[in-house]
Structure 1
Amino acid sequence: MAILVRVPVPILEDLVEAAVSKQGNIYRAELAKLIGASKESLDGKTSLYLISLMKLCGFAEADMANVLRKSKIVNQRGAVTHDISAEVELKGVIDNALEGFQLLISESFKPTEKEKGGLFNPAAYRKKPPEK
């Protein structure tokens, strides 16, 4: 499950400026994606996915814990569900996000119904010896 985080606009602007100044043109395409994602709004307020915020904090070399403490978790419709305040809660949010990503990755490697029979089964093509 994707976690949306509403980041206050001044903090987000500072993150973007820091990322651009520290990374320059090295990650220009990646920064453009993150900045584009951060400018999408829900009910006129800026929200982005937790994984995008983590990347942006990495590019800006910012303390993600401080950014998340000033942010709020929102649901898919943009309603604020709750603040992220304590260290234990912050760890729980990150753990839940990582668990969701791991589940998504493991599901993507499961074989489909078509693949379960095997794409190529050499045993099926071998001639069986005639029965006596």
Structure 2
Amino acid sequence: MRVLVQLVTSARVVVDGEIVGRIDPEGQGLLALVGITHTDDAALAAKMAEKLWRLRILDGEQAAADVAAPILVVSQFTLYANTVKGRRPSWNAAAPRPVAEPLIHAFADALRGLGAEVSTGVFGADMAVELVNDGPVTVLLEL
């Protein structure tokens, strides 16, 4: 599992012209682009949610847990692109939909279980993700 985290002042996901997920924090929030691979499971999703929730990247070295910062979770299979050979990425390391979709939901649910306000994109949809990166701060989490 890989999560590309961006510290944001706002973020939203649009599908077919409709806003399907959005965060507009009073201060800062997190956009979490989540990639799933074949060996990931629900336990790993829960552990990653805990790591993200407690990651101290907000102002004053605070975590989302400290200030109840909202989180927008968006599935992102391209985080598992293999670009070692040639000019065309391979997506073989990305888990197929039957594996990935439930784990994206498990990750979001685990964050909610920790107390996070979570909004999401739509798995498998052609999404337009709009954000205002704060800092800019972007961190790649892996377990």
Q: What's the TM-score, normalizing by structure 2?
A: 0.25
Structure with the bigger percentage of strand:
2
Larger radius of gyration between Structure 1 and Structure 2? 1
Structure with the bigger percentage of helix:
1
Identify which of structures 1 and 2 has the higher relative contact order when contacts are C-alpha pairs closer than 8 Å and 6+ apart. 2
